[in-house]
Structure 1
């Protein structure tokens, strides 16, 4: 379709050029040959010169339009290349919802397993993991934190196309104060809708650049979790920014 339109435009341009360059001068010449009718103060030479100037101006405008269109196209290509280069140089991990799970979730024990997948072509180092920030409901302003359960070494590597598990675990004896009281937050006494926030520090192996990636998502948790029921990770949104950019703000 696009090729057909381009071919059509080329044909129209050729026809227009022939008409303006050949036929119009002949018409002007033929109009002045009889030397009858309305007599002008200028001759055929003047009209041809005037027409030539108009034709030249139209040509300049046409060339300018083409140059402007090519410049815009070049800018688009340049922006696209910059975006691809930026994407290539930015480590990014996705939450793999097919593997992530909630093993236990009650007032005294929380066990959440999240898998992070590397979809880039480079090895990503996880430099730090914050505790999982959770809100029992959308209206709840005070958050509680589920501790990250493992001390990760610096430059922990995640290979391309690999998923890496991280765990968040909190537990208190049943006789002690509960981690949180979720009973009042259950929807229809069947499930919880937790608002979660997870922050990572990332970087590529053999690179000094560090990035902060923040995930925000809903965690739909059934009231009774067993091997036949699963929690759902929904509406996952993520942003990533270079660490020195944050520090310079």
Structure 2
């Protein structure tokens, strides 16, 4: 189970919590992405959960993005598209979920992890939670997560993130550009903020929050097709010698 990651869920006092874990920096193997998407769909249908909290385990990295082991093992276009469709399914599950989703970000976040934080309806982060869209440096590009990130931070900030693929942007930068709703100085305060907001929302009208969610995501109705098209682009590019060489050099450094 650990090889493909672990996902745990809990519902208490109308708060549904989803936690994911992978020993390699909470990275995202393809199967775990699909399992996360299915879990969000299931929790979205559960009447006992009025609000969802999405988090990763530990106080280290929130998410190291795509699994390099899986990326380098991709041998053809269909495998490539299938892998990147995992991110598409995850983002669409968050978008279509009728419950508001709070994302807790305790540390650094790369690539697909930035996509997840962008798809949250309210994201609370620790001050160490720097972000980076490293895809262009890999010879790919933030194509699948792009719509979610651009929707949250705007075209200018998305351009900064996607073009300057080698450098980190601080949690405060992410807050100033709308990705994070709030930044906390320590992990105790982070948990307090997440728990307080979740408790508050758990007592609100589920129907009202469902309608608010629809309004917040208006204009994204084409994402099923759009994100699949983006997965196809990434599925082709990941087969390049550039990407293979980059990953090999990164793993050996």
What is the TM-score when the length of structure 1 is the normalising length? Answer: 0.20
Higher-strand-fraction structure:
1
Larger RCO (CA under 8 A, 6+ residues apart): 2
- TM-score normalised over the length of structure 2: 0.19
The structure that is helix-richer by fraction is 2
